[in-house]
């Protein structure tokens, strides 16, 4: 009897996740079943669907000691880049959707983001601190090319002279060079470009609809040449698969013009653990056990440790070696820590017609 396509995870061209398992809050669970006909699962060619999100607030605040910002803005829910390791995948479960294929095909845009941001920044009680743009999902994912929500947000931030730190793995950020260049002159912007691997074939499997590695390096060069502070974020560092490239990624980013660097060890919260292990079985079955053994070595024997101070860096001997390698490489390359000193003192609410009586 031939082996059925349901017996093991199968890669889906152009997508990261290899399944669409139900979210943890759903009362019904979906399971693929072999009826003998050996048809591929329904999601073999999933199409991207974008729906407007009727959000009423746009700024998200946090008190995490692990991140260098206390507020963020995400123009989209879900991300078409399809990075299988994305820590934000479990948020789709709150929408009654799967953190698997749904996360990268059932997208939600926030068309009122710029208007809501304008209202938030105009409030008398608002106090300016750097804003992180595109933290959960990439603000420059493919649908941004058509919708332009991220650009409209940047236009608001520019008018208010509000500092912003952008995180992306997309070359589309170059489209907004006119805004970014002007903001950089007043120390109001920095850009972190995420680079996971320099291997094109692996990147195609890990991050199927994100920019290719060489294109991200080109983006770093383009931004840096325009005087925009650029950080390379080696994220995530995946034990066995990508950790051998850590030094090479940092060196390539430095050559391209990066001024600073940071890294994050692979995180597998909630449904991401199962999705990542399915991906390993589909793409690297011979390395799957080795990878997960090393992952658990950095998480106290578990797939994940969510504690502050541990979730970004991990613990144990292997995590310590990664940290030491990163620090040594940064010293050799003269790459600074990834925090940029952005200027909050220039913030002001722009005048609007009607704010004061016209003089005769």
Q: Encode pLDDT of 305-345 as tens digits.
A: 999 989 999 999 999 999 999 999 999 999 998 777 899 99
Residue 104 in any domain: the answer is: no
Residue 61 in any domain: the answer is: yes
Residue 272 in any domain: the answer is: yes
The answer to whether the beta carbons of residues 44 and 133 sit under 8 Å apart is no
Judge whether residue 36 has pLDDT over 60.
no
Arithmetic mean of pLDDT, 230-237: 98
Judge whether residue 28 has pLDDT over 90.
no
Provide the pLDDT confidence category of residue 352 given band limits of 50, 70 and 90.
Answer: confident
Enclosing domain of residue 254? 53-74+110-337
Residue 85 in any domain: the answer is: no
Provide the pLDDT confidence category of residue 7 given band limits of 50, 70 and 90.
Answer: low
The answer to whether the beta carbons of residues 199 and 245 sit under 8 Å apart is yes
Query: How does pLDDT run across 132-159, given as a tens digit for each residue?
Result: 999 999 999 999 999 999 999 999 999 9
Range 90-93 contact pairs with CB under 8 angstroms and sequence separation of 24 or more: 90/23, 90/24, 90/269, 90/270, 90/271, 90/272, 91/136, 92/23, 93/23, 93/24, 93/25, 93/26, 93/270, 93/271
Looking up residue 188, the CATH number of its domain turns out to be 3.80.30.30
What confidence score (pLDDT) does residue 31 get?
52
Judge whether residue 178 has pLDDT over 90.
yes
What confidence score (pLDDT) does residue 27 get?
56
Q: How many domains does the chain have?
A: 1
Query: How does pLDDT run across 188-217, given as a tens digit for each residue?
Result: 999 999 999 999 999 999 999 999 999 999
Residue 8 in any domain: the answer is: no
Residue 271 in any domain: the answer is: yes
What confidence score (pLDDT) does residue 61 get?
96
Residue 120 in any domain: the answer is: yes
Residue 86 in any domain: the answer is: no
């Amino acid at each position: 009897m031939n082996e059925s396509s349901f017996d093991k995870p199968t890669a889906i061209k152009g997508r990261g996740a290899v399944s669409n398992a139900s979210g943890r809050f759903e009362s019904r669970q979906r399971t693929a079943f072999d009826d003998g006909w050996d048809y591929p699962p329904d999601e073999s060619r999933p199409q991207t669907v974008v729906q407007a999100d009727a959000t009423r607030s746009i700024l998200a605040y946090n008190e995490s000691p692990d991140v260098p910002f206390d507020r963020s803005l995400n123009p989209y829910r879900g991300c078409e880049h399809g990075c299988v390791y994305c820590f934000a995948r479990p948020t789709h479960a709150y929408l009654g959707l799967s953190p698997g294929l749904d996360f990268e095909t059932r997208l939600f845009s926030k068309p009122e983001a710029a208007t809501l941001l304008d209202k938030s920044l105009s409030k008398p009680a608002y106090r300016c601190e750097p804003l992180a743009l595109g933290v959960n999902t990439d603000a420059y994912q493919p649908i941004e090319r058509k919708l332009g929500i991220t650009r409209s947000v940047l236009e608001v931030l520019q008018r208010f002279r509000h500092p912003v730190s952008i995180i992306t793995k997309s070359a589309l950020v170059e489209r907004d060079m006119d805004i970014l260049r002007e903001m950089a002159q007043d120390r109001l912007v920095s850009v972190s470009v995420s680079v996971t691997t320099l291997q094109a074939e692996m990147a195609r499997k890990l991050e199927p609809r994100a920019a290719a590695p060489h294109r991200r390096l080109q983006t770093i060069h383009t931004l840096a040449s325009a005087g925009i502070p650029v950080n390379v974020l080696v994220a995530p560092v995946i034990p066995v698969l990508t950790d051998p490239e850590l030094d090479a990624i940092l060196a390539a980013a430095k050559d391209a013009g990066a001024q600073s660097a940071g890294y994050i060890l692979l995180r597998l919260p909630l449904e991401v653990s199962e999705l990542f292990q399915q991906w390993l079985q589909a793409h690297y079955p011979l390395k799957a056990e080795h990878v997960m053994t090393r992952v658990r070595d950095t998480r106290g024997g578990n797939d994940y440790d969510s504690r502050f101070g541990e979730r970004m860096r991990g613990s144990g001997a292997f995590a310590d070696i990664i940290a030491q390698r990163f620090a040594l490489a940064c010293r050799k390359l003269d790459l600074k820590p990834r925090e940029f000193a952005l200027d909050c003192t220039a913030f002001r609410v722009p005048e609007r017609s009607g704010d004061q009586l016209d003089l005769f």
